Structure formats: C-alpha cells, structure tokens
C-alpha cells in the first residue's frame, strides 16, 4: 500500500510536537505531585523528570517501528513505576499513543494483533501484581474498598488500552482508504492521458481527412487542366492559357490549405502536456461549459465542420441558458472547406469561452459579415443585468482563454489566432469597455472567389463597429 512505504514513515514535525508536549506535561505533573505529596515518589525529582522524558521520546519513531516503540515504552514505564519514579497521569497517555501507533502503522496486521495482545496482557499482569503488593501493605482496607480500587484500576486500563486498540485500527482503515483513493486517482489520470493521446490520434486522422477533402480535388483538377493545356497549346493557345490560369489558382489555394493544416499539426507530447496542465481548471460556479466543444467533436466524427453546421452549434450554446443571437450580414460567398472549418472552429472556441466565463443568462452575439475582400467573424458576450453571471477580470480572462481547450487542439486565443494567420487573416480578442468579451476575426476570401473588380476597401453594412470595443446593436436572425 502506498501509505506504508518507508518514505512516508519518517518522523514528522507533528511527532516532535507530540513528544515534546507529552514529555513537558509529564514533567509538570511530576513537579505538582512532588509539591502536593499525592503520589509516593521514592526517586528524586530529576529522576522522575528523566523517566517522563524517557517514556515519551520513543514515540518519535512510532511510524517506522510501532511495535518496538510500544514495547520500549512499556518496559520503561514498568521499571519507572517499580522504582516509584513516574507520575501516573500523562505517562499513561504516552502508553496509549504507543498502542495506538501499532494499530495505525504496523503493516503486518497479524503481527500488529499479536503485539498488542501480548502488550495488553503484560500490562494487565503488572497491574494485578502491583495492586496485590499495595493491598498487602494496607491492612485497614475493607473488602469493598479493595474491590472498588481494583475496579477503578481495571476500568482505567481497559479505557486507555481499549481506546488505543480501537482508534489505531480505525486510523489504519482510513489510511488504507486514502491510499486506495490516491491509487484510483493516479489510474484515472493515467487513463485521462491515454484518452488524450487517443484523441490526438483521432485528430490527426481528421486532419488527414480534411487534407484529402480540401486538397485532393485541387490536385485532380490540376492534372486535368494540365493535360488539356498540353493538348491545346499549339492549336488553341487561348484555351491553354485559361487552363494554366486554373492550374495557377488551384495550386495557390492548395498551398494555402496545406499551410493551414500544418499549423494544426502540433507535436503530440506538447499537446498532451498542455491538455494535462488544464485538467484542474474548472469553470466558475462549477459549470463545465464544454457542450459546444462536445458538439464540435460530434461534427468531426461525421465529417469536417462547415458553416452549414453553425445553427446546430448555436443551438447547443443556447442550452446554457444564454441568449445567443446569430446573424449573417452581406452576400454569402463560396468558401473552401478549410476556410469554413477554420471559421467554425473560431466560433466554437468563442462560444465555449462565453459559456465558461460569461455564465448563465449572458447575451452573446455571433455575426458573419461578408465584405468585398474578406469575411469578418465577430463573437461578443455581456453579463446579464443584476450581475448574476460569473465573470473574470480583464487581466485574468486572456490567461483563462489561453488555457481553454476545444476538441483537443483549440488552445484558446492562441489556437484561433494561428488558424487565422495560417489563412492570411487576423484575430483580435479583448474586454469590451462596458463589460464582456469580444473576439473579432478577419479572413480573406480564397483567390478563386475574389471578384476582379473588388477593391481593398470593405463595404460592410456596419463598418463603424470594427474599431469600437463594444457592440450595443443587436442583430436579428
């Protein structure tokens, strides 16, 4: 058992304090008995104080050598009592601690039982002999008085040694229970790490599927158009030029998507460590706030998530008793699978953080703005009126955001920003001036979807919201 290992049996500071208290208390009682004459000391006071310390000191090693300590104490106690050099009060507490230590710390339970049984029998024999000698010396005691004295001594010893036996066994059972709980906790953590590694392996499989879905059709198209350009290069140069332009566009999109996927292929050990470091982080108020992430996990098992999965994600976030408004502004553009997946992950991560930190009753806005050259994603939350929700300060929220996990690879703001950077976009995150949190991401359209007459300026319906930290206008679905 873990609690029985040698390294856990070294003397502790508590043991030293117990020994010091017992020794000092026994010495004080010796001085008081000497002053009052209530106990027939035959040895000098210094010898009584020395015996008091000698009975208590062995308890320092009661964890490592419980049986030996108890027997040494008993021998010193009996010798000091025979010499009338030990007070009868605190010294019995020291004996109680010795017997208790056998039950609490003796790993061999059979040996613990035999040792305590023999020790109790020995003390009982000594008590009977001692009383018999005392009663022989006293001639004027009646039978009733003798019986009462025997009963007092017997009950006192039964109380002390019986209590030490029972409480020692109880302490042993508690220590064994704690050791079992520690072993179970270690096993759970090991299984959790194993599940994390399995989740990372599944994530790599998912990424491989995304690589196939997002890149394979580009490569197939490049092969077809390359063959067409080769055949029409001499007879129809215009057609060959058109095929080469398609090849150029497809290859650039392929490079962009490969770059995005490379950013998500993190080192397995590093990702495992990051996940394990955040296992103890719980949401304020005991709210797990992991339902959006679970929904994203389900989406990954049935295929790569896309913008078509956003309504389901929004609905799952509403089950946290939050008011979530979702709006699409502008004319939707066709996007590549990797772009839609990255946008989905940003919204998923942001909703997870809203559930975790804004609390129940918070108002959350999710907006997609289609501009001329880029798509803007904006997720903002605010505390409900009355302050019922639990929130974090502006200084603590970024750190907590950075620790939030989303389907094993989110890594909070860092992960979202890397996803956007991989596709040539940007991400901003921070507190709003009137409370709450704002995440705004901009991602350029794929080259194949950009209109030739598009300009660098954006025609968003609400451009003034890009530079302000708060969103007071509510968009309707």
What's the pLDDT score for residue 58?
A: 92
* Band (454; pLDDT cuts 50, 70, 90): low
- pLDDT at position 270 is 44
**Residue-level pLDDT at 268:** 39
Lowest mean per-residue pLDDT among 13-17, 186-190, 264-268, 416-420: 264-268
Distance CA 81, CA 58 (A): 18
Cα 83 from chain centroid (whole Å): 59
- Cα 247 from Cα 254, distance rounded (Å): 10
Q: Which two tokens stand for residue 150?
A: 């025997």
Distance CA 380, CA 382 (A): 7
Read off the pLDDT of residues 100-129 as tens digits, 9 standing for 90 and up.
999 889 888 999 999 989 988 888 888 888
By DSSP bridging, strand 426-431 and strand 374-382 are unpaired
409 burial class (0-12, 13-18, 19+ CB within 10 angstroms)?
buried
Average pLDDT, the chain: 75
pLDDT at 4 > cutoff 50: no
Asked if residue 276 lies in contact with residue 314, where contact means CB atoms within 8 angstroms, the answer is no
> Which residues are within 8 A (CB) of 349 and not within 5 positions of it... i.e. 6 or more apart?
404, 406, 410, 412, 415, 416
Give 430's strand partners: 438
Q: Which residues contact 407 (CB under 8 A, 6 or more apart)?
A: 203, 293, 296, 297, 300, 345, 348
Buried b (16+ CB within 10 A) or exposed e, 172-203: beebeeebeeeeeeeeeeeeeeeebeebbeeb
Retrieve residue 270's tokens.
């590093």
Split at pLDDT 50, 70, 90, the class of 301 is very low
Separation of alpha carbons 318 and 320, rounded Å = 5
Instruction: Tell me what pLDDT residue 367 has.
Output: 93
Alpha carbon distance 320, 316 (integer Å):
8
pTM exceeds 0.85 for this model: no
Please tell me the distance from the alpha carbon of residue 264 to that of residue 407, in angstroms, as a whole number. Answer: 12
- Contact between 11 and 60 under an 8 Å Cβ cutoff? The reply is yes
pLDDT tens digits, 328-374? 999 888 888 878 888 888 888 888 888 777 776 788 999 999 998 89
Q: Are strands 363-370 and 437-444 parallel, antiparallel or unpaired?
A: unpaired
Q: Is 133 exposed, middle or buried (0-12, 13-18, 19+ CB in 10 A)?
A: exposed
pLDDT score, position 210:
65
Under the banding of pLDDT at 50, 70 and 90, the label for residue 377 is very high
Q: How confident is the model at residue 138 (pLDDT cuts 50, 70, 90)?
A: low
Q: Identify which has the larger pLDDT, 403 or 15.
A: 15
- Average confidence (pLDDT) over 121-145: 76
pLDDT of residue 369: 93
pLDDT for position 42? 85
* DSSP, res 354: I
Instruction: Give the pLDDT confidence of 45-91 residue by residue, as tens digits.
Output: 899 899 999 999 999 998 889 999 999 999 999 888 888 888 888 88
Mean pLDDT score, 422-440: 87
> Is residue 461's pLDDT more than 80?
no
* Angle made by CA atoms 158, 159, 163, in degrees to the nearest 5: 110
Q: Is the pLDDT of residue 418 over 70?
A: yes
Q: Which helix (H) or strand (E) holds 85?
A: none
Instruction: Tell me: pLDDT of 404 over 70.
Output: no
* Ranges assigned E (strand) in 228-289: none
Mean pLDDT of 250-270: 62
SS3 label, residue 17? helix
Taking alpha carbons only, the member of 378, 374, 380 closest to residue 459 is 374
Q: 237-264 vs 337-353: helix axis angle to the nearest 10? A: 30
């Amino acid at each position: 058992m873990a609690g029985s290992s040698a390294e856990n049996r070294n003397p502790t500071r508590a043991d030293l304090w117990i020994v010091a208290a017992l020794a000092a208390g026994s010495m004080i009682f010796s001085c008081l008995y000497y002053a009052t004459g209530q106990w027939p000391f035959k040895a000098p006071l210094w010898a009584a104080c020395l015996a008091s310390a000698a009975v208590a000191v062995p308890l320092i090693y009661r964890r490592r050598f419980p049986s030996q300590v108890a027997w040494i104490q008993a021998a010193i106690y009996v010798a000091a009592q025979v010499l009338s050099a030990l007070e009868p009060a605190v010294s019995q507490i020291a004996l109680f601690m010795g017997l208790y230590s056998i039950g609490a710390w003796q790993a061999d339970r059979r040996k613990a039982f035999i040792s305590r049984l023999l020790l109790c029998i020995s003390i009982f024999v000594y008590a009977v002999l001692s009383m018999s000698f005392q009663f022989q010396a006293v001639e004027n005691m009646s039978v009733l008085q003798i019986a009462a004295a025997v009963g007092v001594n017997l009950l006192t010893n039964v109380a002390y040694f019986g209590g030490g036996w029972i409480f020692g066994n109880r302490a042993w059972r508690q220590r064994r229970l704690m050791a079992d709980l520690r072993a179970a906790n270690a096993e759970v953590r090991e299984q959790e790490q194993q599940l994390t590694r399995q989740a990372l392996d599944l994530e790599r499989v998912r990424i491989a599927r995304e690589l196939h879905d997002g890149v394979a059709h580009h490569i197939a198209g490049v092969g077809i158009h390359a063959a067409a350009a080769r055949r029409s290069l001499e007879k129809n140069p215009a057609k060959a030029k058109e095929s080469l332009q398609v090849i150029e566009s497809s290859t650039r999109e392929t490079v962009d998507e490969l770059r995005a996927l490379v950013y998500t292929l993190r080192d397995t050990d590093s990702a495992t460590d990051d996940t394990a470091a955040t296992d103890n982080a719980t949401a304020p108020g005991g709210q797990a706030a992991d339902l959006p992430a679970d929904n994203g996990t389900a989406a990954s098992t049935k295929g790569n998530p896309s913008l078509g999965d956003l309504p389901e994600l929004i609905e799952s976030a509403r089950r946290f008793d939050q008011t979530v408004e979702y709006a699409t502004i502008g004319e939707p553009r066709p996007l590549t699978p990797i772009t839609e997946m990255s946008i989905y992950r940003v919204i998923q991560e942001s909703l997870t953080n809203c559930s975790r930190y804004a609390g129940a009753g918070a108002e959350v806005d999710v907006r997609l703005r289609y501009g001329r050259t880029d798509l803007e994603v904006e997720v903002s939350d605010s505390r409900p009126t009355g302050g019922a929700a639990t929130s974090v300060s502006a200084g603590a929220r970024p750190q907590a955001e950075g620790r939030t996990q989303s389907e094993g690879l989110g890594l909070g703001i860092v992960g979202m920003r890397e996803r956007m950077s991989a596709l040539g976009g940007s991400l901003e995150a921070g507190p709003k001036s009137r409370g709450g949190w704002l995440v705004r991401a901009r991602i350029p359209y794929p080259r194949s979807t950009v209109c030739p007459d598009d300009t660098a300026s954006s025609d968003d319906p609400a451009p003034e919201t890009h530079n302000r930290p708060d969103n007071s206008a509510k968009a309707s679905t």
